[in-house]
Amino acid sequence: MSKRTLCTTFFLGGAVAAALSACDVQVHDATPDHYPANHEVGMYEIKATTAADALVTPGSVYLFALSGKQRFELTPNRAGTEWHGMYSIRCQSSFPLQLLAIWKLQGLTTREKVVPGQPREIKLVEPEPPKEAPPIDTANGKPPKGGFPGSVKFRFATQQDTQITGAHIEPVSQDAADVAAAKPITVTSALPVDVPCGVPTAIELNSTAAKAQGNLVIDTNLPAYPHWTTKVTFAPK
């Protein structure tokens, strides 16, 4: 029986001995199950390894990444055993991933398979908002009419549009000095504030004192961070 006959028997019959099943390509998806979401280019590496059985034609293996309706070819190393590519996606919290392998047997028959059977979901992790904002300079020490203006910028990466639905100032602690230090600060932005994906967007503040500090507490419609606290400080440099 020829090698081609053995392989054909395996694919058609499916019950021959394991020794005859030399027609497959083993595919291992080495892509991490999550990446930090990228604010800017949104490029994420897809990685895989393959091992071809004895009857697979050398150099005939091709590997593609599938994500929804998108398909793109991965690049092999010289040995054809390690593959990688870059997938571009922005303003999403995850993306589905499968791998499509295509190969030839003895240079004649073409085979293919998709792994895994159901797409993996690669999570894109929203970067943590700032825990402390850069100090807001009140250098001349004399408040302009209405007080010293300032702002804290927020930028989000895992949905097309985020809303900051609420914002207020709290003291950094319940000590009397911290409670007094927070009183001069108010939020002046009209709420809600729309934050387009990847665009730094400010929550405007005002302080009637040259020295003040407090926690800016925001509420959002972003599942990763429905609430967040950022320390703000007004002070002369």
Please check the confidence at residue 3 and state whether its pLDDT lies above 90.
no
Strand, coil or helix: 170: strand
Please report, as a single letter, which amino acid is at residue 124.
Answer: L
- Over residues 189-202, the mean pLDDT reads 97
Domains of the chain: total: 2
Q: Are residues 10 and 115 in the same domain?
A: yes
Considering the entire predicted model, what is its pTM? Answer: 0.84
Locate 80 and state its tokens: 């054809």
* Domain shared by 174 and 211, yes or no: yes
**What pLDDT, in 10s, does the model give residues 135-159?**
999 987 677 888 999 999 999 999 9
For range 83-103, the mean pLDDT: 97
My answer on whether 91 and 201 are in the same domain is no
* Nearest CA among 105, 111, 116, 126 for reference residue 58: 105
Q: 161 and 188: one domain?
A: yes
Percentage of residues in the chain having pLDDT higher than 70: 91
Could you give the 3-state DSSP secondary structure of residue 63? strand
Q: 148 and 48, same structural domain?
A: no
Residue 130 lies in a domain: no
Structural domain including 179 reads: 136-235
Of 68, 100, 125, which residue is a domain's last?
Answer: 125
Question: Does residue 151 share a domain with residue 66?
Answer: no
Distance CA 225, CA 182 (A): 23
| Domain-located, residue 86 | yes
Task: State yes or no: pLDDT of 2 exceeds 80.
Answer: no
What is the per-residue pLDDT across 208-226, written as a single tens digit (0 to 9) for each? 999 999 999 999 999 999 9
Strands laid side by side in the 212-220 sheet: 136-137, 227-235, 212-220, 161-170, 193-196
Mean pLDDT to the nearest integer, 37-64: 95
Are residue 89 and residue 110 in the same domain, yes or no?
yes
